[in-house]
């Protein structure tokens, strides 16, 4: 089944709250080799002016992918994950994600275009607090190969 | 120790590092990130989809490449924008490991915004694995 291009322009309702914990930030920082003390040591983070430990720059992917699943796991969208390659990724931080944040994400399907036989799907996850403060924007493009015929 | 605008010039190298990745690292990243795609831990699945074997998560490579920039910037919160293109897979053998080389150079300075664009060269055995890898860093 080909990718359904009519999904372009779709906006999903805010997803469930993601509560950021110190333990999760430390686990993620260790996995990517982010050794800065502001990821694990509250006093080091506060010395830099942050209220609590802060996330490494790419941690927002953990939050964004929960919203992206609304599209990727929708069978009607026709996105077969065995044929997907991650093409590009961009994080814009309006402020650092920090422990204690309660984040909600609104997923936008910005575009679905055919290029050289590939379906290029660009999504934008707008991450903010429950109270409405903007925190991060995550733009991701996936390339979906056509089915073998 | 925050970096100040005055001490920077376009073309200046600000960070250089080698990051080693092995299968255990990928398993750790899978757990931490929630990305359990088997091409990042199962050779049988990876080769079935045409890869040479297990490859690193692109997002692991992107995350690992940010580390040297964060250390240089002095505050992870100073990275206000970070983007990459995934141009080449990073195979990770077993047994063994793969070394990812990261070089960060000042690509542009924006005095009005108080930011520096840092361009990253991220390569394995001399071949670039990320394209247009750029971090925008807020300076003091």
Instruction: Encode A25-39 in three state secondary structure.
Output: HHHHHHHHCCCCHHH
Residues of A with CB under 8 A from a CB of B: 24, 27-28, 30-36, 38-39, 48, 50, 54-58, 61-62, 65, 81-82, 85-93, 95-96, 139
CA distance B104 to B123: 12
CA torsion A126→B119→B13→B9, rounded to 10°? -90
Confidence of residue B10 (pLDDT cuts 50, 70, 90): very high
Say yes or no for a CB contact (<8 Å) between B83 and A57: no
Q: Chain B interface, mutation test: which of A18, A29, A31, A53, most B Cβ atoms within 10 Å?
A: A31
- Per-residue pLDDT tens, chain A, 149 aa: give them: 789 999 999 999 999 999 999 999 999 999 999 999 999 999 999 999 999 999 999 999 999 999 999 999 999 999 988 888 999 999 999 999 999 999 999 999 999 998 888 999 999 999 999 999 999 999 999 999 887 64
Considering CB atoms only, which of B32, B79, B86 is closest to A86? B86
User: Which one of B22, B32, B87 makes the best mutation probe of the A interface by having the most chain A beta carbons within 10 Å?
Assistant: B32
Q: What is the CATH code of the structural domain delimited by A5-20+58-144?
A: 3.10.129.10
Q: Give the Cα separation of A78 and A144 in Å (integer).
A: 10
Containing structural domain, residue B64: 5-138
Residue B58 belongs to a domain with what CATH number?
3.10.129.10
Domain count, chain B: 1
Collapsing DSSP to helix, strand or coil, B24 comes out as: helix
Stretch among A80-84, A112-116, B26-30, B136-140 having the lowest mean pLDDT: A80-84
pTM value is: 0.97
- Alpha helices, DSSP H only, in chain B? 23-33, 43-48, 58-73
pLDDT (0 to 100) of residue B140: 79
């Amino acid at each position: 089944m080909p990718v359904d291009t009519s999904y372009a322009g779709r906006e999903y309702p805010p997803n469930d709250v993601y509560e950021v914990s110190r333990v999760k930030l430390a686990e993620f920082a260790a996995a990517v080799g982010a050794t800065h003390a502001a990821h694990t040591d509250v006093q080091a983070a506060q010395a830099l002016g942050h209220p609590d430990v802060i996330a490494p720059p790419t941690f927002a992917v953990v939050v964004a992918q929960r919203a992206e699943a609304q599209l990727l796991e929708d069978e009607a969208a026709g996105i077969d994950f065995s044929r997907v390659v991650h093409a590009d990724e961009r994080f814009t931080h309006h402020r650092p994600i920090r422990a204690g944040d309660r984040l909600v994400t609104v997923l936008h399907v910005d575009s679905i275009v055919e290029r050289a036989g590939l379906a290029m799907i660009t999504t934008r996850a707008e991450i903010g607090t429950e109270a409405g403060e903007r925190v991060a924007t995550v733009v991701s493009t996936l390339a979906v190969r056509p089915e073998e015929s | 120790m925050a970096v100040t605008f005055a001490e920077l010039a376009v073309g200046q190298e600000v960070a250089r590092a080698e990051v080693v990745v092995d299968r255990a690292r990928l398993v750790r990243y899978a757990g931490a990130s929630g990305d359990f795609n088997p091409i990042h831990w199962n050779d049988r699945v990876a080769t079935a989809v045409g890869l040479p074997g297990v490859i690193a998560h692109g997002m692991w490579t992107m995350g690992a490449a940010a580390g040297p920039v964060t250390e240089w910037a002095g505050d992870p919160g100073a990275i206000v924008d970070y983007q990459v293109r995934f141009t080449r897979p990073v195979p990770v053998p077993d047994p063994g490991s793969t070394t990812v080389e990261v070089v960060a150079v000042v690509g542009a300075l924006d005095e009005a915004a108080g930011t520096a664009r840092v361009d990253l060269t991220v390569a394995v055995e001399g071949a670039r694995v990320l394209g247009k890898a750029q971090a925008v860093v807020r300076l003091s």
